[in-house]
Structure 1
Amino acid sequence: MAKIPVVLTGQALQSLRDSGYSLAAAIGEVIDNSLEAGANNILVRMDEAPPAGRSKKSHVHRIVFSDDGTGMDTHTLHHYLQIGYSTRYMRTDTIGKYGVGAKLAALNFGKRIEVWSRTDANEPWQHVYFDLDEAITDEQNGNGSTIGVDDPDVKPVPNDFGDVLPKGTGTLVIWSKVDRLEEGRRAKDFNSLRLEAEKEISRIFRVFLNDGRNIEINGKNLLAHDPLFMMRDTWAEQQLRDYYHTGEGPQLGLKISESDFEAELIAREPIKIGNHTAYLTVTLYPRAATRKRGLGGDDLAKKLRIPENEGCISFMRMDREISYTNVPMIFGRRVDDPDRFIGIEVSFTPELDSYFGVRNVKRGFEPHDELRDKLRIALKRHVKTARDRLEERWGEVARERKDHAGEHREITQAAAEAARTLPTPQAKTDIEPQQAFEVLALDVLGADADDQAKANYTAQVQELPFVIESVNFPGKQFMDVQHVGGKVIIRLNTRHRFYREMWEPLSGIAHANAASVSPEQAIKTSRRAIEALTLLLIAYGRAEAMHEDPHEQYEQLRDYWGMFLDSLLGKVKDVL
């Protein structure tokens, strides 16, 4: 019997159309080639066609790529459409090395690929193409052995592409017979599809964009999107500038300058693997982005692409992102909502491809073996540091806001109304009330507050029978109580573990938009609150036990405390 082909080319290529590329990942494969060719300007154009036949949906029928790189000579152009061919095959100093990505990416969405290229601005454009429908027809007619790519020919570029054609050297790639981008399939409409591609490409190629390369999609020049918030003049910085200069930002009452647009570097740690090194970078998002607790899912957060960052790691190979994904259990714990404010990047060179599971297409990627273990250990440490800093920052913001109705204002006002029937306080003190409230204003507002702000605050609180403020003071004491002229001033110590682990998280959930609080976060915080309240009572009981006769000393205190608590709980509710 005669030998038969190992591969039925047409049918195999038809099967390879299901390679699982997203549109952005597919576009990225062509951009890779343009960057390797030294292009400074890369243009992408998606052409939309109206509904045809019985279909009521519009669709993208063609995608055009253009670059002003060095172009391809005749030999390279002839092999460009050959799966497995690459001038950089298996090299470790380039973005690509398998000769597969751009071809499979094209077939994933379209059935025809055409390429024009030239290496000399004074020479005509050379052209090659491959049409999958033609290949399958040839194979079905018994001509499978003739399937291939013809020699490049000189062919004028159609007028449809004159607006994107490079003036000098460069390459023009056209995917046509696109049949997998109809409205509602990859996105609800053409505009959503374009925006998603812009978002992904601006992140994948952020280093190149930040360094001055130009990538344009349907006439829009992309700004880099840095999920670490370390770069300047990015998409996120533009959104922050709009928010704080002309948007809703000033209403928050935060002191935000452009220096607050840059992230806080938590760690940049080398991860040694054999003779090579990967680098782990962890950042806490800037104050302008973290703002205050409970805003991780609002309109600004969505514009900054913060919710989608939750638990994600950006893996960078040769300054090109090849994956932005969650890696199961890499934090050593489950991912929580506040993790969306932590930027994580792992950068490496191709020598470490085997440790990162790099494949012939830049997808389905996950570190393993020794590398995974080292990353987990480092991330467990650095992510905890970032979370602690975030909690501290949110606590500072809660205390620094200058509206200063006060963190506990709603409850103290309601309690003031409810307290009119309570017994009159009997405490006597030599402390001058005006002086006590001025000191409190200094504790709450800080030494840099102007005299008017202090006067306004004092005027607001000195008429209340109770004042509670969260302030920072040294020592293990959770609260400090002053009795001044029949009024009670209570300071809660924000350094205390009870405040940090119970009070502040509960307060954050209480003031958050319901949509921004996950069930897991609510349950976790509630459980910790029950633990903390139980331990509060245990600690109080133990503190009483430090007196020789606690019954005689504290019985009346407990009676009053229980009586007042019952009365106030009955009268004060639903004020937050």
Structure 2
Amino acid sequence: MLDLDDVKSGKQRDLSIEEVAAWPADFAHLMAHPETKEPFNHGTLVVWRKIDRLRFGGHYGTGLKERMQDLTKFIARAYRRFIDKGLYIELDDREITLHDPLFLLSNPRVVKKFGEDLRAKIVDEGHFTVDGHSVNWRVSLLPEEVRRKRGEGGRAGKGREDFEDLYIPDNVGRISMLRNDREIYYDVVPRLLPNGVDKVDRFIGIEISFPAELDEYFQVRNVKRGAEPVSKLREELKKALKKPVDEARKEVRRYWGEVEQKEALATGDAHMGAHEAVDNFDRTAPKGQAGFDGTDQATVDETLQQLFQDLGLDPGKEDDKAKAEWIRESFDSRALTVVDAA
């Protein structure tokens, strides 16, 4: 046991070590499987007392809630391969489920939100050898369901709550580097991606994995956090990633165009250019005050019904259903919707 207050006052000068036959009674429930209640045969229990450095942030500090959220995201991503193989991690009385930025592992969050196990498509993968050890790389394209429309960006928001804890915007230009299956780096690597970082890169997963024997070539720090390939290795990786990343970027934009074309045909949206301009402006414009546009739902429904009547639309008919649904969705999500009527 180490007590920093006692060390400071001079009461404690040594570390005490005591051999015990079982987990301390006060913490035994923490060192057992949450479902079977069977005690762990081995493990490490660390008990922190008198925590005085974790606060709620003040005006400029990081709040405790934010720290817990960041820690959850880090654990879910960094230990994803171990969690996928059965590792159980609990934080603040909640199980941490894995998050794979490449969307190649089974993610319970995706299943819960979409009702199915959506997986990404592997654009390409490969490996090369450095000093007799393999460096593996992989490029994936996230499922169409999370990149259906141009401008949504995989962000959480009204009508897009499905994206809230999938962290898709975090992907922009970031490379996930795994050392012995644990992620030690998740950030932009300068001069690695073709033509720099592209806004559509949030829908592209890039993973590089290597064994500990290659730490020197990835300039791994002593704390095993952070990595950056040396110049020759970077060039090798850059050459390997160029073609699949370019292909993935083209596919994202091609699919957007296909969806927009189908929507225009189905809804008769003759003002797609104007609507795209509104969407682009709305994403960057300052947001209004909360509750400023709080029109009651009854008034909204009445207005839309009148509009459908003016347009000669019957939402109950199969031929009119798609256009009526588009108008309602556009009204809910846009600051301005333009339609043609007699």
TM-score exceeds 0.5: yes
Matching residue within 7, 15, 18 for 1:152? 18
Please name the residue that 2:52 is paired with.
179
Distance 1:268 1:314 in 2: 14
Distance 2:135 2:13 in 1: 43
SS in 2 for 1:322: strand
Matching residue within 285, 294, 300 for 2:151? 294
1:283 aligned onto 2:140: yes
Amino acid at match of 2:279: A
Distance 1:360 1:508 in 2: 52
Distance 2:275 2:180 in 1: 41
**How far does residue 409 in structure 1 lie from its aligned partner after superposition?**
1.7
Please name the residue that 1:409 is paired with.
270
1:362 aligned onto 2:235: no
Please name the residue that 2:102 is paired with.
228
**How far does residue 372 in structure 1 lie from its aligned partner after superposition?**
1.1
**Alignment map for 1:46-61 (pairs within 5 Å):** none
Distance 1:132 1:222 in 2: 31
Amino acid at match of 2:45: L
SS in 1 for 2:202: helix
**Alignment map for 1:557-576 (pairs within 5 Å):** 575=338
Please name the residue that 1:428 is paired with.
none
Are residues 370 and 135 of structure 1, via their aligned partners in 2, closer, same or farther at CA, if it must alter by over 3 Å?
farther
Q: Does 173-182 or 226-235 show the bigger shift?
A: 173-182
**How far does residue 268 in structure 1 lie from its aligned partner after superposition?**
0.7
Which runs of 5 or more residues in structure 1 are unaligned? 1-128, 242-257, 412-505, 519-573
Matching residue within 237, 246, 267 for 1:384? 246
**How far does residue 227 in structure 1 lie from its aligned partner after superposition?**
0.3
Please name the residue that 1:352 is paired with.
214
Are residues 410 and 509 of structure 1, via their aligned partners in 2, closer, same or farther at CA, if it must alter by over 3 Å?
closer
Which runs of 5 or more residues in structure 2 are unaligned? 33-38, 286-336
**How far does residue 403 in structure 1 lie from its aligned partner after superposition?**
7.2
Question: 8 Å contact 2:56–2:65 — kept in the other structure?
Answer: no
**How far does residue 136 in structure 1 lie from its aligned partner after superposition?**
4.2
Are residues 377 and 137 of structure 1, via their aligned partners in 2, closer, same or farther at CA, if it must alter by over 3 Å?
farther
Are residues 235 and 372 of structure 1, via their aligned partners in 2, closer, same or farther at CA, if it must alter by over 3 Å?
same
Amino acid at match of 2:4: L
Q: Does 216-225 or 190-199 show the bigger shift?
A: 190-199
SS in 2 for 1:163: helix
Larger radius of gyration: 1
CA deviation string 1:48-80 (max 9, x = no partner): xxxxxxxxxxxxxxxxxxxxxxxxxxxxxxxxx
**How far does residue 278 in structure 1 lie from its aligned partner after superposition?**
0.8
Question: 8 Å contact 2:193–2:242 — kept in the other structure?
Answer: yes
Amino acid at match of 1:283: S
CA deviation string 1:257-287 (max 9, x = no partner): x47x211111112133232211111111110
Matching residue within 279, 286, 310 for 1:512? 279
SS in 2 for 1:303: coil
Question: 8 Å contact 1:356–1:367 — kept in the other structure?
Answer: yes
Question: 8 Å contact 2:120–2:143 — kept in the other structure?
Answer: yes
Distance 2:143 2:40 in 1: 43
Are residues 162 and 150 of structure 1, via their aligned partners in 2, closer, same or farther at CA, if it must alter by over 3 Å?
closer
* Structural RMSD (CA): 3.2
Please name the residue that 2:300 is paired with.
none
Please name the residue that 1:134 is paired with.
6
**Alignment map for 1:148-547 (pairs within 5 Å):** 148-154=14-20, 160-166=26-32, 167-170=39-42, 171-184=44-57, 189-241=63-115, 258=116, 261-296=118-153, 297-299=155-157, 300=160, 301-401=163-263, 404-406=266-268, 408-410=269-271, 510=277, 512-514=279-281, 516=283
Are residues 168 and 212 of structure 1, via their aligned partners in 2, closer, same or farther at CA, if it must alter by over 3 Å?
closer
Distance 2:217 2:282 in 1: 39
More strand by share: 1
Amino acid at match of 2:248: A
CA deviation string 1:496-551 (max 9, x = no partner): xxxxxxxxxx7895363546469xxxxxxxxxxxxxxxxxxxxxxxxxxxxxxxxx
Are residues 409 and 226 of structure 1, via their aligned partners in 2, closer, same or farther at CA, if it must alter by over 3 Å?
same
**How far does residue 164 in structure 1 lie from its aligned partner after superposition?**
1.0
SS in 1 for 2:257: helix
Amino acid at match of 1:180: R
Question: 8 Å contact 2:77–2:101 — kept in the other structure?
Answer: yes
SS in 2 for 1:164: helix
SS in 2 for 1:176: coil
SS in 1 for 2:267: coil
Count of aligned pairs = 276
Distance 1:168 1:391 in 2: 50
Distance 2:282 2:21 in 1: 57
Distance 2:128 2:91 in 1: 36
CA deviation string 1:226-260 (max 9, x = no partner): 1001112432343333xxxxxxxxxxxxxxxx47x
Question: 8 Å contact 1:294–1:508 — kept in the other structure?
Answer: no
CA deviation string 1:307-326 (max 9, x = no partner): 11111111111111111111
Are residues 156 and 348 of structure 1, via their aligned partners in 2, closer, same or farther at CA, if it must alter by over 3 Å?
closer
Are residues 320 and 149 of structure 1, via their aligned partners in 2, closer, same or farther at CA, if it must alter by over 3 Å?
same
Distance 2:338 2:40 in 1: 69
Question: 8 Å contact 1:278–1:346 — kept in the other structure?
Answer: yes
Name the TM-score, length of structure 2 as normaliser: 0.70
CA deviation string 1:463-500 (max 9, x = no partner): xxxxxxxxxxxxxxxxxxxxxxxxxxxxxxxxxxxxxx
Distance 1:131 1:290 in 2: 52
Name the TM-score, length of structure 1 as normaliser: 0.43
SS in 2 for 1:364: coil
Amino acid at match of 1:410: H
